[in-house]
Chain A
């Protein structure tokens, strides 16, 4: 970006010196600036245009960098969970899950099946909610404004469910080290059951609005191509790579948190364009709904937190009456629990792609290093090959199909 900027400030000729004939196009540097309704966050792309065709593009990130990785080193292990919520603010529970799974691997504690199934159910609800935001905003960018309202109507129901569980609509931190944050609330089964009953027909409604719509197909078919080899080389993951034909999904390849007990398909398409990615995500909405329904029907009984008194806070009543619980509670809250020294790289499939946390512990009660390998950072690297050579209007559709979130990118 600095090279393009310097090149143009020093060598841009005066307007009179440029050839005036229409057959000699002039190149213009355009700033698709950090403040833009279609970049889904504070992303700046420096575009070099010839007419309306993009000749070269360079993303400039870092506007949302808040030093979360450094902040993680200052907090106790359980306090870091609230920071991980804010990294990918649309898929909070996926981030919580990957951090908690990594630390539980280091701690070597067993999570009971009920907690694992609850985690799967909440993560899939969060995936549905994230894909609804994607569909609404992507369609809005391309011009289909009513889809936005329909998607956010469903999302309201899911956010109310999340609020019922954790007290917060978005940054719930419901998944904690050792299990869940709170016991599942009374009546959760009926609430989620009622939502899932009508969700299938709602997805049909979105399909009806967009699938065969000629404007939608003209704007999304054949747009935003990047070859599968390029995607693998640049490190792009998630629905983009599944839209190109490779069935890469961490839930199937490296199952975690009892995902191997659930029956779901990995949706792939082969056309490798914006329309294929739209169909992949729509299919994923249906598959996630299937997983939530299976979790509702087969939820095992049992404790919702691991049996690890030095990690998990004891029950309130026990803490008030038993001496050992009181001491454990005091030690965990004031000093934090210690995690044995070691390092772990845990991978989870977030709605955007492969999210992985590299957690290094040196045996104390604070993490030594938490590195977040976020999918949006890896995906955005592959933006120039996708954007170069297409029109600006197509670039908006291509950007939307990548489904990046700037909190994920910049941390």
Chain B
């Protein structure tokens, strides 16, 4: 699968990973959905590679029910103000996964219909799954460091 937005293809452990350019993610995903028939988005998540830069890696897992195959798309975002376009226009099921990634990592998804916190309370501060966020959180005085 070639597309101007795909920078690299990696094959490992029987799985195919495409490294994509975050600025063209919507067009890459649309191409996967239409040309390669990946009609389902299985999950969207992120990995925090702090302190390496670019810090965040947004990972999309796609699934094709007709071809029975799966594929992974990854893009790296900088740590300072991580923002990427939302793919809810490609698959509506991306909605809650992007909300969860925003909630846990603080990655902004542009043009998302309802980007609010989903798992943490609405007025929570901080993004828990970042590597510099302590396991016990900030709410109670459990820290011993």
Shortest C-beta distance, B128 to chain A (Å), equals 6
A2 at the interface (CB under 8 A from B): yes
B122 at the interface (CB under 8 A from A): yes
Which positions 56-83 of chain B face chain A at CB distance < 8 Å?
Answer: 59, 61, 65, 68, 70, 72
Which 10 pairs across A and B sit closest by C-beta, in order of nearness?
A235-B93, A373-B43, A62-B119, A371-B45, A65-B119, A234-B93, A381-B96, A253-B68, A369-B47, A233-B92
Chain B's closest residue to A60 (CB) is B118
| A356 and B42 form a contact (CB under 8 A) | yes
| B12 and A61 form a contact (CB under 8 A) | no
| A234 and B13 form a contact (CB under 8 A) | no
Supply 7 further A-B pairs (C-beta < 8 A) apart from A61-B118, A342-B13.
Answer: A2-B116, A65-B119, A235-B91, A358-B59, A371-B59, A373-B42, A373-B43
A377 at the interface (CB under 8 A from B): yes
Chain A's closest residue to B40 (CB) is A232
B25 at the interface (CB under 8 A from A): no
8 A-B pairs with CB atoms under 8 Å apart are A62-B117, A62-B120, A69-B129, A232-B40, A233-B91, A235-B93, A345-B15, A358-B43
Chain B's closest residue to A105 (CB) is B13
Q: How many residues in B have their beta carbons less than 8 Å from beta carbons of A?
A: 38
A248 at the interface (CB under 8 A from B): yes
Q: What are the residues of chain A within 8 A of B135 when measuring CB–CB?
A: 67, 70-71, 74
| A70 and B119 form a contact (CB under 8 A) | no
A314–B59 CA distance with the chains assembled, in angstroms: 37
A395–B53 CA distance with the chains assembled, in angstroms: 48
| A234 and B65 form a contact (CB under 8 A) | no
Q: What are the residues of chain B within 8 A of A261 when measuring CB–CB?
A: none
| A62 and B121 form a contact (CB under 8 A) | yes
A354 at the interface (CB under 8 A from B): yes
A235-B93, A373-B43, A381-B93 known; A356-B128 Cβ under 8 A: no
A235-B93, A368-B47 known; A67-B128 Cβ under 8 A: yes
Shortest C-beta distance, A237 to chain B (Å), equals 8
| A3 and B114 form a contact (CB under 8 A) | yes
| B15 and A344 form a contact (CB under 8 A) | yes
| B93 and A344 form a contact (CB under 8 A) | no
| A61 and B119 form a contact (CB under 8 A) | yes
Chain B's closest residue to A74 (CB) is B135
A411–B93 CA distance with the chains assembled, in angstroms: 19
- 8 Å CB contact of B95 from A69, A71, A381: A381
Chain A's closest residue to B93 (CB) is A235
User: Counting chain B CB atoms within 10 Å of each CB, which of A343, A344, A378, A382 scores highest?
Assistant: A343
A88 at the interface (CB under 8 A from B): no
- 8 Å CB contact of B120 from A65, A248, A342, A371: A65
Shortest C-beta distance, B98 to chain A (Å), equals 11
B20 at the interface (CB under 8 A from A): no
Q: What are the residues of chain A within 8 A of B59 when measuring CB–CB?
A: 358, 371
Q: What are the residues of chain A within 8 A of B118 when measuring CB–CB?
A: 61-62
B41 at the interface (CB under 8 A from A): yes
Q: What are the residues of chain B within 8 A of A369 when measuring CB–CB?
A: 47-48
A246–B68 CA distance with the chains assembled, in angstroms: 12
Q: What are the residues of chain B within 8 A of A347 when measuring CB–CB?
A: 42, 70
A370–B118 CA distance with the chains assembled, in angstroms: 19
Chain A's closest residue to B14 (CB) is A105
Q: What are the residues of chain A within 8 A of B68 when measuring CB–CB?
A: 253-254
Chain A's closest residue to B43 (CB) is A373
Shortest C-beta distance, A401 to chain B (Å), equals 19
B90-119 to A contact mask, C-beta < 8 Å, 1/0: 011101100010001000000000101111
A67–B119 CA distance with the chains assembled, in angstroms: 9
A235–B17 CA distance with the chains assembled, in angstroms: 21
A342–B104 CA distance with the chains assembled, in angstroms: 22
Q: What are the residues of chain B within 8 A of A377 when measuring CB–CB?
A: 96, 100
Q: What are the residues of chain B within 8 A of A2 when measuring CB–CB?
A: 116, 122
A360 at the interface (CB under 8 A from B): yes
Q: What are the residues of chain B within 8 A of A360 when measuring CB–CB?
A: 47
B39 at the interface (CB under 8 A from A): yes
Q: What are the residues of chain B within 8 A of A411 when measuring CB–CB?
A: 119
A410 at the interface (CB under 8 A from B): yes
Shortest C-beta distance, A109 to chain B (Å), equals 13
Chain B's closest residue to A354 (CB) is B42
A106 at the interface (CB under 8 A from B): yes
Chain B's closest residue to A66 (CB) is B119
Shortest C-beta distance, B49 to chain A (Å), equals 9
A222-248 to B contact mask, C-beta < 8 Å, 1/0: 000000000011111000000000101
Chain A's closest residue to B94 (CB) is A235
Q: What are the residues of chain B within 8 A of A232 when measuring CB–CB?
A: 39-40, 65
- 8 Å CB contact of A106 from B13, B42, B47, B48: B13
Q: What are the residues of chain B within 8 A of A345 when measuring CB–CB?
A: 15, 61, 70, 72
Which positions 86-109 of chain A face chain B at CB distance < 8 Å?
Answer: 105-106
Q: What are the residues of chain B within 8 A of A74 when measuring CB–CB?
A: 135
Shortest C-beta distance, A122 to chain B (Å), equals 25
Shortest C-beta distance, A349 to chain B (Å), equals 13
A240–B41 CA distance with the chains assembled, in angstroms: 17
